[in-house]
């Protein structure tokens, strides 16, 4: 087991829990670390896990409480438990090789394929709670005037929430890969050079329009705003060239 995973496993054993709860924690973390349950995927229901592991549901629930405390999973009322943990060593191996081979134009082409469909599905599938959470992230985005680093972080969070809201774990994972690759390669550096306060303000307005379309369940407008956003990023990329 990689060092980061070992450290997390040690943390997860440092609780005053019953032996059965600890076994459930160990099994679930092993499955998450091996990517049997990949990042952003939804775990089986408590009932299914209890049946699979041969334990009571309250045992599974206690184990999930501990995993959530340590940010291994995230639980959303009415939606289930979603994996947030990714082994750093595994992430670095897979993402670094992809990032090195991905040009800015290749990256934008993949986003042009993924994002319109991602937004379309999110408009259809996002729960009211997920839309409220997206609204909170938009408020954070709109609260940034000049701090490019914070703006990029909130921007990524905004689109990760949209990706998760599709209800399609594979699509969300594919989109997460594009974000990770861009972060390790070129995109953050590019944005830091060109995201002036005026461009930040323009981007905030575009995201506000996109959110309003999502909240209104307006598929056509949401997809159109997504395409317009990609066009603006293409202009930024061409300016860099």
Model confidence pLDDT, tens digit, residues 124-176? 999 999 999 999 999 999 999 888 888 888 888 899 999 999 998 889 888 88
Residue 131: its H or E element: helix 128-142
Which residue intervals of 13-103 are DSSP H helices? 19-33, 46-53, 57-69, 88-100
Q: Domains of the chain (ranges plus CATH)?
A: 3-83 (1.10.10.10), 101-240 (1.20.120.530)
Per the structure block, which two tokens stand in for 2? 């990689």
Q: What is the pTM of this model?
A: 0.60
* Per-residue CA distances from 179 to 18, 108, 111, 117, 156 (Å): 39, 11, 10, 16, 7
Residue 43: exposure state from Cβ atoms within 10 A (0-12, 13-18, ≥19): buried
Model confidence pLDDT, tens digit, residues 161-218? 999 999 988 898 888 888 877 765 555 566 566 778 888 999 999 999 999 999 999 9
């Amino acid at each position: 087991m990689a060092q980061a995973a070992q450290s997390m496993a040690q943390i997860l054993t440092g609780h005053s829990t019953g032996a059965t709860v600890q076994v459930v924690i160990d099994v679930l973390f092993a499955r998450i670390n091996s990517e049997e349950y990949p990042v952003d995927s939804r775990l089986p229901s408590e009932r299914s896990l209890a049946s699979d592991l041969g334990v009571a549901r309250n045992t599974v629930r206690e184990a999930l409480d501990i995993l959530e405390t340590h940010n291994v999973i995230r639980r959303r009322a009415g939606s289930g438990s979603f994996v947030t943990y990714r082994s750093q060593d595994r992430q670095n191996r897979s993402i670094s090789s992809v990032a090195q081979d991905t040009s800015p134009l290749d990256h934008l082409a993949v986003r042009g394929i993924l994002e319109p469909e991602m937004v379309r599905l999110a408009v259809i599938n996002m729960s009211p709670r997920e839309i409220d959470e997206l609204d909170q992230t938009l408020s954070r985005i709109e609260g940034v005037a000049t701090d490019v680093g914070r703006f990029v972080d909130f921007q990524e969070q905004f689109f990760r929430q949209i990706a998760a809201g599709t209800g399609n774990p594979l699509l969300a994972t594919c989109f997460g890969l594009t974000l990770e690759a861009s972060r390790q390669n070129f995109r953050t550096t590019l944005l830091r050079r060109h995201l002036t306060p005026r461009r930040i303000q323009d981007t905030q307005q575009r995201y506000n329009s996109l959110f309003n379309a999502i909240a209104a369940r307006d598929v056509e407008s949401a997809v159109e705003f997504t395409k317009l956003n990609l066009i603006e990023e293409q202009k930024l990329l061409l300016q860099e060239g």
